[in-house]
A and B are shown apart, each in its own frame.
Chain A
Amino acid sequence: MNATWSRFNITSVVLGFAFLYLPIVLLVIFSFNESKLVTVWGGFSTKWYVSLFQNQGLMDAAWVTIRVGLISATVATVLGTMAALTLTRYTRFRGRLLFSGMVFAPLVMPEVITGLSLLLLFVAVGLDRGFLTVTLAHITFTMCFVAVVVQSRLVSFDRSLEEAAMDLGAPPVKTFFQITLPVIMPAIVSGWMLAFTLSLDDLVIASFTSGPGATTLPMKIYSQVRLGVTPEINAACTILIAVVAIGVVIASIANKRREVQRLRDEQAAQRG
């Protein structure tokens, strides 16, 4: 679409973004509140951040969450990429319908169902609940998101690149690693990042599948939130938001740079 950006359109975008961001901004502001009352401003202070880092339970949970996230995101990326390849490249095999169903269903499946069913599986096979089970559960539901992200890139992938590589003598496996993988790499990276944040974010599935000693940060935050809103939780949330925001901003700046560089290269090439 290209047309004049009317006042109505601008207003709806601005209001929409205000709605999306205002609660987060307020949360961040009140993490620097001197007062213990979250909603009454009592002056600027960073004391809640200090007390946050002295909270051993919270720190332990953060460490568990990061480890679960790193491992599950990495495995999920490998599995999700394979699933994406299967979906786009193998259009005919027995059980394809079931397979695509199993990839797309977890995207919308209520978390309570996924969590409960995974827990019952772990109990049935006699796996003790803990770090391993949370990780397995996170791999399962995040790999579907990776598959969707990678698949959307593969759909627009120019197959003649692979044909050219094979025509020049590269066997299929080599072609995949030397041609296909580098081209779809940006999608794989964003798939990994998505999987990592989803894992970092998950409360419900983790609550079902985790056991003693493997309390994740969202579980910890949740149990404290139930007791009431405290500036310390605001501080913890602010740090999480900051980490994610910095990551996203860095990624998008890197992306933008690459784009600008490419544009400049192209223009230079045009000029000859």
Chain B
Amino acid sequence: MSDIAATASAAPPVDVSASLPARLAKGFVGRLVIIVPYLWLLFFFLVPFVIVFKISLSQSAISMPPYTPVLDFSSGWSGFVGKLKQLSFDNYLWLTQDALYFKAYLSSVVIAGISTILTLLVGYPIAYGMARAPATIRPTLLMLVILPFWTSFLIRVYAWIGILKPEGLLNQLLLSLHVISEPLVILNTYTAIFIGIVYSYLPFMVLPLYSSLEKMDYSLIEAAKDLGCPPTSAFWKITFPLSLPGVIAGCLLVFIPAVGEFVIPDLLGGSQTLMIGRTLWNEFFSNRDWPVSSAVAVILLLLLIVPIMIFQQAQARAQEQGK
């Protein structure tokens, strides 16, 4: 082994001029594949967060842009230190003083949590039924679950307005069936938000559940039954624990975006319901208070950082197992 290495290093490269550029080119192209998307994401994903954080520490002003800049490096190190003193946590103080924000965060998390559980309850039987379907029709069922995802989110939420409003289709149906005598008030309540979230995010729940249930070896269930386990008990002891990765992925895919959801509370929840995505939107577009909305965003991000990291871990693990 050492002999071979010695001869290899002792022998002069046959053709330096031809191999070196080729090697360089290979290295360069290889790097490029990493560098281009890396820089793009750094600049358009990470840097913006830094800016959000920075602006959340500045004072609002009536100008364009409506805030006084902090951390301006144009005046050198002394200027930087001087500016540091201008840093203001006022926006954060403001968030703690006004109970509105706290309530909005809390109700967002609660609404997202309840919706996630509801979506799981609705989605699990669907995914389970799909996974048990004959293998020939499974791809079709899968496509049918994905298809609504391709149609606009906004449209799907909009469609529910016509159904849920007091003179809407649901009330018409229930009234004509004499199930109710007075129209139900569903639109502009939290119920409407739950319906909207469950409906819109259902495919996100069904897909990971389906993929974990579908690849499960059915002989495990048979083995459990063979060993004396009745079907319901076999479900809780075997099927459900083995589908947990899908459950976790599905719940995170629903919960995280739902906390910051804007369209659903805005269109279905009316003015009475409180969710942080809408608060941020109003702060930004109506009050034009960029520093406060930045602070709202920073807190929201901190709130979600743990679930997001769990989600990433799960993704990375799935990727490793795929290999």
Q: Give chain A's interface residues, CB within 8 Å of chain B.
A: 1-6, 8-13, 15-17, 19-21, 23-24, 26-27, 30, 38-39, 79-80, 82-83, 85-90, 93, 95, 98-113, 116-118, 120-121, 123-124, 136-137, 139-140, 143, 147, 151-152, 155-156, 171-173, 197, 200-201, 203-204, 207-208, 218, 221-222, 225-226, 229, 233, 237, 240-241, 244-245, 247-248, 252
Contacts and interface: CB of A to CB of B under 8 A. Distances in A.
A12 B125 contact: yes
A153 B135 CA distance: 21
B202 A20 contact: yes
Nearest to A116: B297
A105 B155 contact: no
A203 B154 contact: yes
A218 B154 contact: yes
Contact of A241 (B26, B151, B315): B151
Contact of B44 (A30, A136, A173): A136
B152 interface: yes
Given A21-B148, A113-B301, A116-B297, A12 B256 contact: no
B323 A155 contact: yes
The DSSP consensus for interface residues of chain B is helix
A121 B50 CA distance: 9
A7 to B, nearest CB: 10
B111 interface: no
A245 B140 CA distance: 14
Contact count band on B: 35 or more
Given A13-B141, A108-B257, A203-B153, A5 B297 contact: no
Interface in B289-308: 290, 293-294, 297, 300-301, 304, 307-308
B199 interface: yes
**Which of A89, A107, A226 has its CB near the most chain B CB atoms (within 10 A)?**
A107
B262 A143 contact: no
B312 A100 contact: yes
A246 B226 CA distance: 48
A93 B253 CA distance: 28
Contacts of B65: 123
A226 to B, nearest CB: 8
A11 B130 CA distance: 11
A136 B145 CA distance: 30
Contacts of A200: 152
A138 B281 CA distance: 19
B175 interface: no
Contact of A24 (B48, B123, B159, B297): B159
B140 to A, nearest CB: 9
6 contacts: A17-B126, A82-B37, A89-B33, A99-B41, A241-B152, A248-B143
B290 to A, nearest CB: 7
Contact of A203 (B25, B141, B260, B263): B263
B84 interface: no
A171 to B, nearest CB: 7
A204 B160 contact: no
A217 B318 CA distance: 36
Nearest to B131: A1
B152 A237 contact: yes
B322 A110 contact: no
Nearest to A123: B65
A13 B22 CA distance: 56
Contacts of A139: 40, 44
A100 B252 contact: no
Contacts of A10: 129
A102 B167 CA distance: 46
**Which of A30, A156, A237 has its CB near the most chain B CB atoms (within 10 A)?**
A237
A21 B163 CA distance: 13
Contacts of A252: 143
Contacts of A143: 37, 40
Interface stretch (B1-9, B99-107, B212-220): B212-220
Contact of B172 (A39, A83, A99, A221): A39
Contacts of A245: 147, 150-151
A103 B41 contact: yes
Contacts of A95: 38
A268 to B, nearest CB: 21
A85 B129 contact: no
Contacts of A225: 154, 158, 161, 267
